[in-house]
Structure 1
């Protein structure tokens, strides 16, 4: 019988902290968008420099890909990991199908984040501060939820793959770090981000 000690407390804390951070970034960006709609002359507080800015992102078609501002999606979506994390801490246990659907949500989220990231870096030529917060929290949540599901066999994978996933689970942070490194390299190669950022300090 599963014990309380087997609850993924670390994963729960990650979901709560990352979910709150992502929700805050999405909510703040939504407020900034509303301000620009009310007052066309309003300068968003996240416009720090020509490179580190959110204005062009919000004004672009990429910023409203579904016909409404993208941050609205984040305001709604980031509630889910927080609720799941709190529920785990409270002792809730979820069925395999729930974990699979939860993982599919993160898969959709990471695809969307990668697309927005490439659009921001390679098309718009900007680094939106709030957007980067969203990137920074979606990436670890995706990797850790996926690794957890593999470890627990929620995808229907066999005992051997579960044991391998269990051994690799403590090293998921390496995947997260490599993901961050890829973003930094792309931003540096395309935008010379490091030089631009330090020149504004």
Structure 2
């Protein structure tokens, strides 16, 4: 008689390296935390730059920012839209908040701190909202504003990388319920394929639409 689906899964799970299906050792957690810290520091710096530019524009509405390259690569065009101030203040202030939180958590994890499951679930939910917001801004720039801000693109990149690192850790530690195969998948680093593919798709969207115009 044919094996049931659950029996097949059990057999598959037994073939996995048990060291890659258990909660992550500190060496793995530290390496992942360092990746998150690097992305978080870049994101925090970028958020500060955007905050300064927003303050300069508020003081001088006719100002042309230094990162204006052409009609497509234009920080000023994006910064003067309502999408850049969804809550009534520059979105960069939210970036400073999100990046500061994830940096504090990443440094603690690097030091060997294990947060309770409810706390990490809350951080996961918070940063998922942050990623969704960053992607919404990207698509607003792409489809509605028809201009791209280099600093905003960098925020999209760093937010994606931090979210991927946070999700990787939470899956490995069973904070997010997942079968052993999923824990093995992230422990082996295979999730990077998905992350890189996702970022490649975003880059190709930009190239297909604007092409050589980006350099003019």
TM-score by length of 2: 0.83
- Compute the RMSD of aligned alpha carbons: 1.8
1:31-180 matches, within 5 Å, as 31-157=52-178, 161=179, 163-169=180-186, 170-180=189-199
* Displacement after TM superposition at 1:87 (Å): 0.9
User: Which structure is richer in relative contact order (CA contacts within 8 A, separation 6 or more)?
Assistant: 2
Q: Which runs of 4+ in 1 moved over 6 A?
A: none
For structure 2, the residue ranges without an aligned partner over 5 or more in a row are 1-22
CA shift digits 1:71-114 (9 cap, x unpaired)? 11111211011111111122211111111111111210111111
For structure 1, the residue ranges without an aligned partner over 5 or more in a row are none
**CA separation of 1:46/1:101 partners in 2, compared to 1, >3 Å: closer, same or farther?**
same
CA shift digits 1:145-176 (9 cap, x unpaired)? 1232122111344xxx1x21232111121111
Q: Is the 8 A contact 2:40 2:99 kept in 1?
A: yes
Figure out how many residues of one structure are paired with residues of the other and give that number: 192
Structure label with greater radius of gyration: 2
CA distance in 2, matches of 1:177, 1:3: 23
TM-score by length of 1: 0.88
Q: Secondary structure at the match of 1:25?
A: helix
